[in-house]
Amino acid sequence: MKQHKVFFFHFFATCLFFLASCQSDYLDKMPEAEGYDFDKVFKDSTNYRNFCDYLVQHTFFLHLENGVKPYGSWDDVSDNSISGRNSNDVPALQVANGDFYSIRTNGNAAMANNATWEQIWKHIRVANTGIMNIEHYSGSEATKQRLLGTCYFYRAFAYMDLTRRWGGMPYFYLPIDASANMDYPRLTMRETYKRAAADCDSAAMYLRVTIPENEFQHPTKIGALALKSRILLYAASEQARNEPGSDGENLWEEAALAADEAIRLAEDAGHELVPWADYYYIFKGGKPEIYTKEVLHGRRQSIAWGSDAYRNTIRPPGQLNGQYGGVSVNQLFVDDFEMKNGLPIEDPASGYYEQNPYVNRDPRFEYNVLHNGSTVMNRTMQIWNETEGTSAMGSTDCQINATGTVEMGYTRTSYYAAKWMGNTWNTVLPLLWPYIRLAELYLNFAEASNEAWGDPAVKDGRCRYSAAEAVNKVRNRANMLDVNTKFLGQDDFRERVRNERRVELCFEEHRIFDIRRWKIATQPEYRDLWRMKLVKLAAGYNAATYPTGFRYERLLERQRIFQDRHYLYVIKLNDTRIGPNFTQNPGW
Amino acid sequence: MSQFKITISVFFLSLLLTCLAFPAAGQKKEKLILNVTVTDEAGNAIHDARISSSKNRYIYAGRLGSFNLAVYPDDVLKVMAKGYETKIISADQLESSVELQAVPDFSGEEDRISTLYGETTKRRTVGAYSKIDGRQLEANPTMHFYNALGGRLNGLFTMDNTMVPGFTNSSNFIRTPKGNMMVLVDGVERTLDYLEPETVESVQILKDASLKSLYGGIHTDGILMIKTRRGRPYENSARINVQTGIQQPLRLPEYLNAYDYAVLHNQVMRDAGMEPCFNPEGYLTGDPLLYPDVDYYGMFLNDHLAITRANLQYQGGSRQTRFFTHLGYQTNGGLEKYTEYPNRDKVFTLRGNIDNTILGFITLEAGFNAAMQTKSWPNMSTQDFFNMLSDNRPNEFPIFIPGENVGEPEKEFVLGGVANNRNNPYGHLMNRGYAEREYIYVQTDFSLDFNLDKWIKGLSLKPVLTVDVYNILTCAQGATYVVFEPTATGDPDRPIAYTSWGKETRETSKSRTGNDSQRNYAFNLTAAYNRVFGKHDINALLVYYRQTKEFRTLHNTLKRLNFGGLVNYLYDDKYAAEISLNRVGVGSFSKSERFRVFPTFGAGWILSEESFIPKKSWLNYLKLRASYGILGSTSYTSEGLFSAYLYRDVWEPGGTYANTGGGFTTNIASETQTGNPDVGYQKSYEWNAGADLLLFRRSLSLSAGYFYNLFDGELANMGDVTPGITGKNAALMMQNNKQYKSYGWEAEAMFEKRISDWKLSAGVNLCHGETHITKENNPPYPETYAGLMKIEKMGDVKGQRVIGTFADPSDVDASPRQDFGTVRPGDLKYDDANNDRVVDDRDRIVIANTTPSLEYGITLKIEYKGVNLDVMGYGLSGFDRNLNSKYFQLYGARKYSSVAVDGLPNGNPHPILRPEYANNNFIDSDYWVMRGDYFKIRNVELGYTLPHHLTSKIGINAFKIFARGFNLLTFSKLKTLDPENLDAGISNFPLCRTLTGGVSIEF
């Protein structure tokens, strides 16, 4: 019995012990559980920097990344090219059908979907949080300035990307309270751009002029001013300028002066256009000593050969390990590559002959476009649709399957885009995504100053170059002659600058915004997609008429749908339901 | 692992021999020959009495209450009968008749129901439950436990998703679509993987607030509670169960052959004004390398796979010590042809427990359960494999090409493929390597039961500690192969040219592709006080419980605790009342919200005890019961309690740069959660009422009930209503802002009758439930946006209403614009519900409800002289199916199923076949909807137990041979595919019919 009592006592003692620990601290946050709190983030200098580094490291959408549709460059959704992929969910095809409504919710359609919309706003919030809490920052004054500069830079960057996609937006200078009234009125595009340009000035005030190579991708003062140049160019362009409420301000002049300021600062800091021989290394090959010369703000990455990322984004022809649909370049874009003599092909003096179309063209044509007979990685492209005298369809690099559609991995138009293709078989391909490079600045300046002051050959006293000089810098680098003097009237020159921009900046995701800001996207020549049909001639063909042994024939590949409402994307529906002020874009 | 298998097998065998040797050993004494009659208090013989002898390990079942026993004098006999108290008597004291005392209805041995921390009887409970005996589940031959439960447990909705050997899973809910279910095995959250029915004592669902009340913090509409077997005193037995059989895929999809495909495809192209692509005649007369016709299902699937299950049990004991041991083995798999590694698994289970009473008042209970699964499969998911079968067109490429054709004469054959489809199933089965998974879990329980009767009458205390460990290792060996594409050259000397695609690699070493582990610790302490004072019968319980769950993949340890009490009071065996209070704590909430007390109340009235009901009437028993309670919970995920600390603002450190392939990693910190200090418990207000009846001399039992649950303040983040412009992205805060209303009714009837040698029982049970969403996160949409509003009833699907097809181009132009892709004549025309001249998401209406609202089960048991037939049918009703899979929606180069010719199973013809994906036609609309109701003869057992007088001569107590079947017949409007899962066999493993035969021997 006594033994029982001892046992009993011990038992109750144990029970009490357990019950005593029945306290709420059992349920408190465990050390291993996730998450920092406010102090841990903003009062610790390393974490503060890491918080702001989110802006740098986390893009709001990925360029040339696996899984990001339309699988590759967004030039596919402009008039430069289209995806060879057939599946219904390729946004390029949806865009071509005018189906922006689906793109809004299409998970990977990073150019305009809801996720990207939210991601960009998150950048704005993070930038605003970084600015708001700067008083807590406990590190050095120099770093503090850089953090502030980074936040201002990315706020401007985010508003630039928001506005060119979705139009003018309310401009937030503080992180907004998610439980308060969200019904902010939308600003005009012009006003939003101007505020973003002001942020670029703030950023430029805090940022270093240049940065060491190992910090590449972080913003610089030059980058901030270059961004300002682009933003003001957009603000001055027809889409923003013609919005209601314009007070006659000289936006073109502002844009021209901003470009000039950025050019001068960049050139003085040692930036220059890299020689034509090194053009490849601006984009590929991983040579920082070359790309840092020209690229003012960029991002490095690399893609494994033969990986899904490689096939999805670079999209080489099937013969080069491609599988997911080539980038089919629009014949009308091919036409925009001038002849070596500096004349557009439609100029009677140019020497262009439709049955031998690929000779004596701008060197950038060979660089950017693969066509029948191009050589890449020791393979000669064989692209033709028919062989005279046989029933054979297609050729090695132009495959059409038994069901009549283009095989995945092949072209719809008889061309492939080559800008992002590496030149070495079976190696990892280092890439550089140039957000802003010096060539763009020259073109920004040329466009803006031509519009502002009208005479492209004459230099304004405040600027380093005339409009023509600026364009010629870009042309000469590509071994092209100066703009022909017969195009030095304001209107002709405008056409040449636009042409130059399309050629120089192709597949860098400028074109989709350029045709919008110029408001030309509804015109058939900027809307439709043409292809070249090649027929391989049987022996005994007339070599005088068909010097290449092929007959070339232009055909309309696809008529895109582009209406006025397509100039801006559809805003996430929930957001436009907040209240009467935050309105949806017209037509949606 | 293989060494381990040998060890287990040796152990298994030696245990078996021990059991067989046992009865013969040391029995030298003379046996007593006794003739005993078991009677009730009035001296009438009790028909279904049983007597167990601990020495002989026999259970005698005597007809008409009379037994001829041959037992040793020191034997202890246990006399049992349904509805009577059990008596334990030593053999030398046995007289010619044993009188058993009747117990009130629904309070006998078999009417006990387990509550969360104790036991009660059906008579005194005020709650709603379903219960089945483990033995009934043995009739189910499949390896998946849920398969056995649907139709047997009233209120359980279960639908099998796949039957991949080793990865079988199903969707389940209790009572209503919001019916989250918690699974407890022996009181602890545990998986049902590899649980064998032979080890199960009982399965219950606890459905109402009063029975669930002491489970804190997790929202559940029902707790599925499994009690495993433990040794029973003086019921010693050894048992061997062996069954083996086959599993056949049911209702595989049907596709057109190459010729029919080519003809139809050409037609599609012509209709679209394009050139036809195929030469159909080729498939009749041409070279099969150029004109292949592959029947993928016939070629790559066996018509059945083998399954085998065997186990051995030894159990029994005395009042002092009880034990139960179980060793099991099961294997199933092998549907894929050719490969050495078809989806196949092998499972060993080991289970043992022992209850030992020491010092006369402390019972030590220790239990141990382990399962070890080894599974192998070809190095691809079963989804990929079946997608290959259902995607590859019959004429796309030949599977085999003679090796000499491609200049590799040393090979008998190489594989076919084309540039954009290099998925040759043969290559995937044979030349891609294989994968393997080893899954081990160990569950242990340890408890002490202090019977403190000696000091305070009626009091007992029981601390319980459980530790479970789960561990999974996966490895794979990968490889790739080359395919060859034949193309016609037109050259008569060499009519076919071959292009090769891909490259061949062989991986020499295995790589570990995954490992995962989880641990679950629980501690609880219960104090029970059960005492009768005259007419007052009190059962009281005090519980402290806490649980910690750890996952390798989660930062947060999941934790909860509760402290509660419950009193059940029965007055005069007539009036029951129950009240409970439970203080629940979870870590999700701020200190001020963390603990809350939740009450339940219940009452029962056994009307049949009242004097105004005549005693000897046809009405034997009638009870009315009702309960009401408030239960509190926080979110629950598949991994368990959601214990992110919802009250905190959280910044996540250490994220890395999202670009892949760059090799640049940097530390970033970003906001991932906005804290909400006011967020608190989700509350479920649950009403439940019911009646139980026994009629006609207890041959018919009836039960019916109604329930209504209001679930208020569901935790939800504000994602749907927080504008993107806040920039909060995913870093949102949780709020208590959704509300659901679930209600329904349930009923069951069971009829049991014995007519001379025939024993018959038939039962039916059904449950209807639905859930309405009464408060939802909807942005303030205007009326014209109604189509974007969330569904208001769970299971609803929104889509367009079809009003016809477009007749001609002018019809397209004249109709409201349809924003789902290109529209041409022949395409589906939708209703512009909001009359804004544009048909888009804003015009959607509810077109279907894909969640069943009624489940019913029918059971039938017939026994005649040792022969038994058990039949169980299970049906689900009140729901639709959306025929939107690739099997139904055809276009261009998609493989054409028989739908292309026969039309949709709902009677609609397939919309016009287009060469390209028909965005406009394939969006959700009522065109693709059909009723999903089905009824299946789910389970049948035909068995024969040899007469006891024959088998007892060779020391066998019961020898039963049986044939069992699962999924034998299916009745539904949908004839071509399995209505239980329309993707089965198309994008996943097919559902199967199982047939087994076997024996069960008890020594």
The nearest alpha carbon in chain A to B590 belongs to A28
pLDDT in tens, B238-281: 889 999 999 998 889 999 999 999 999 889 888 888 778 788 88
Rounded Cα distance, B645 and B635, in Å: 12
The SS3 assignment for B436 reads strand
> Residue A242: its pLDDT value, please?
84
> Residue A403: its pLDDT value, please?
58
> Residue A176: its pLDDT value, please?
86
| Backbone torsions φ then ψ of A177, nearest 5 degrees | -80, 120
CB contact under 8 A, A54 and B490: no
Residues B14-46, buried b or exposed e (16+ Cβ, 10 A)? ebbeebeebbeeeeeeeeeebebbbbbeeeeeb
Q: How many helices (H) and strands (E) does chain A have?
A: 21, 11
Between the alpha carbon of residue B985 and those of residues A460, B294, B389, B393, B751, the distances in Å are 74, 17, 9, 16, 39
Residue listed under structure tokens 């060494």: B3
Let me know the angle formed at the C-alpha of A37 by A36 and A42, rounded to the nearest 5 degrees. Answer: 95
Torsion, Cα B428 B429 B433 B434, to 10 degrees, reads: 120
> Residue B13: its pLDDT value, please?
64
Q: Does A44 touch chain B (CB under 8 A)?
A: no
pLDDT in tens, B317-365: 888 888 999 999 999 888 889 988 888 889 999 999 999 998 888 999 9
First to last CA, chain B: 32
**A316, A64 contact by CB (below 8 A):** no
State the pLDDT confidence band at B6, using cuts at 50, 70 and 90: low
**A398, A384 contact by CB (below 8 A):** yes
The SS3 assignment for B158 reads strand
Shortest CB distance from B669 goes to which of A50, A309, A577?
Answer: A50
> Residue A7: its pLDDT value, please?
56
> Residue B657: its pLDDT value, please?
56
> Residue B867: its pLDDT value, please?
93
With a cut of 50, say whether residue B660 has pLDDT above it. Answer: no
> Residue A452: its pLDDT value, please?
93
- Partnered with residue B237 across adjacent β-strands are B315
The nearest alpha carbon in chain A to B527 belongs to A15
- Which is it for strands B934-945 and B958-972: parallel, antiparallel or unpaired? antiparallel
Question: How big is the A-B interface in CB pairs under 8 Å?
Answer: 252
CB contact under 8 A, B556 and A402: no
Torsion, Cα B249 B250 B255 B256, to 10 degrees, reads: 110
Q: Report cis status (omega within 30 of 0) of the bond before B911.
A: no
User: Which residues does chain A have with pLDDT short of 70?
Assistant: 1-24, 31-34, 65-73, 86-89, 107, 247-248, 305-309, 319, 321-325, 401-405, 408, 425
CB contact under 8 A, A34 and B658: no
Contacts of A15 in chain B (CB under 8 A): 461, 463, 525
Contacts of B557 in chain A (CB under 8 A): 30, 32-33
Rg, chain B, Cα only: 32
With a cut of 50, say whether residue B608 has pLDDT above it. Answer: yes
Task: Single out the residue of B83, B110, B108, B89 nearest to residue B36, CA to CA.
Answer: B89
Interacting residues of B916 by C-beta distance below 8 A, sequence separation 6+: A86, A88, A405, B891, B892
With a cut of 50, say whether residue B663 has pLDDT above it. Answer: no
Structure tokens at A306: 């033969």
> Residue B659: its pLDDT value, please?
47
CB contact under 8 A, A101 and B819: yes
Q: Does A180 touch chain B (CB under 8 A)?
A: no
> Residue B662: its pLDDT value, please?
46
CB contact under 8 A, A19 and B645: no
Residues 395-424 of A with CB under 8 A from B: 399, 401-405, 407-409
> Residue A1: its pLDDT value, please?
45
pLDDT in tens, B185-205: 988 888 888 888 899 999 999
Residue A122 DSSP symbol: H
Tell me the average pLDDT across B858-877. 93
Rounded Cα distance, A434 and A389, in Å: 48
**A474, A482 contact by CB (below 8 A):** no
Rounded Cα distance, A400 and B271, in Å: 20
- Quick check: pTM over 0.80? yes
Q: Does B337 touch chain A (CB under 8 A)?
A: no
- Partnered with residue B377 across adjacent β-strands are B435
- Partnered with residue B227 across adjacent β-strands are B202
Q: Does B919 touch chain A (CB under 8 A)?
A: yes
Residue listed under structure tokens 């190992």: A214
Residues B651-670, buried b or exposed e (16+ Cβ, 10 A)? bbbebebebbbbeeebbbbb
**B213, B219 contact by CB (below 8 A):** no
Between the alpha carbon of residue B550 and those of residues A66, A573, B522, B545, B557, the distances in Å are 34, 40, 12, 17, 5
Contacts of A303 in chain B (CB under 8 A): 661
**B235, B109 contact by CB (below 8 A):** no
Q: Does A300 touch chain B (CB under 8 A)?
A: yes
> Residue B681: its pLDDT value, please?
92
Q: Does B273 touch chain A (CB under 8 A)?
A: no
Residue A312 DSSP symbol: I
> Residue B8: its pLDDT value, please?
61
With a cut of 80, say whether residue B675 has pLDDT above it. Answer: yes
3-state helix/strand/coil string of A128-164: HHHHHCHHHCCCCHHHHHHHHHHHHHHHHHHHHHHHH
> Residue B17: its pLDDT value, please?
62
**A108, A90 contact by CB (below 8 A):** no
> Residue A208: its pLDDT value, please?
94
Shortest CB distance from B561 goes to which of A26, A121, A392?
Answer: A26
Task: Single out the residue of B744, B560, B539, B724 nearest to residue B634, CA to CA.
Answer: B560
> Residue A488: its pLDDT value, please?
93
- Which range among A257-266, B287-296, B612-621, B668-677 has the greatest average pLDDT? A257-266
Average pLDDT over chain B, rounded to an integer? 86
Q: Does A114 touch chain B (CB under 8 A)?
A: yes
Q: Where are the domains of chain B?
A: 2-99, 109-240
With a cut of 80, say whether residue B716 has pLDDT above it. Answer: yes
Contacts of A40 in chain B (CB under 8 A): 651
Structure tokens at B421: 């489809």
Shortest CB distance from A122 goes to which of B556, B727, B819?
Answer: B727
**B695, B702 contact by CB (below 8 A):** yes
Structure tokens at B931: 């009723």
CB count in 10 Å sphere of residue A245: 8
Rounded Cα distance, A66 and B662, in Å: 12
CB count in 10 Å sphere of residue B135: 12
> Residue A21: its pLDDT value, please?
53
Residue A502 or B69, more confident: A502
Q: Where are the beta strands (DSSP E) in A69-217?
A: 81-83
**A368, A417 contact by CB (below 8 A):** yes
- Which is it for strands B880-882 and B929-931: parallel, antiparallel or unpaired? antiparallel
Contacts of A404 in chain B (CB under 8 A): 269, 274-275, 277, 915
What one-character-per-residue DSSP string does B543-571 give?
A: EEEEEEEEETT-SSPEEEEEEEEEEEEEE
Contacts of A30 in chain B (CB under 8 A): 556-557
The nearest alpha carbon in chain B to A67 belongs to B660
> Residue B612: its pLDDT value, please?
82
> Residue A371: its pLDDT value, please?
93
Between the alpha carbon of residue B42 and those of residues A56, B61, B101, the distances in Å are 91, 21, 10
Residue B37 or B851, more confident: B851
Between the alpha carbon of residue B31 and those of residues A517, B28, B66, the distances in Å are 107, 9, 19
**A478, A364 contact by CB (below 8 A):** yes
Shortest CB distance from A302 goes to which of B661, B722, B779?
Answer: B661
Tell me the average pLDDT across B977-1002. 90
- Partnered with residue B859 across adjacent β-strands are B763, B872
Tell me the average pLDDT across B499-510. 77
With a cut of 50, say whether residue B24 has pLDDT above it. Answer: no
> Residue B18: its pLDDT value, please?
63
- To the nearest whole Å, the CA of A32 is away from the closest chain B CA by 6
**Which range, of A308-317, B440-449, B461-470, averages the lowest pLDDT?**
A308-317
Just give the CATH number of B109-240: 2.170.130.10
Just give the CATH number of B2-99: 2.60.40.1120
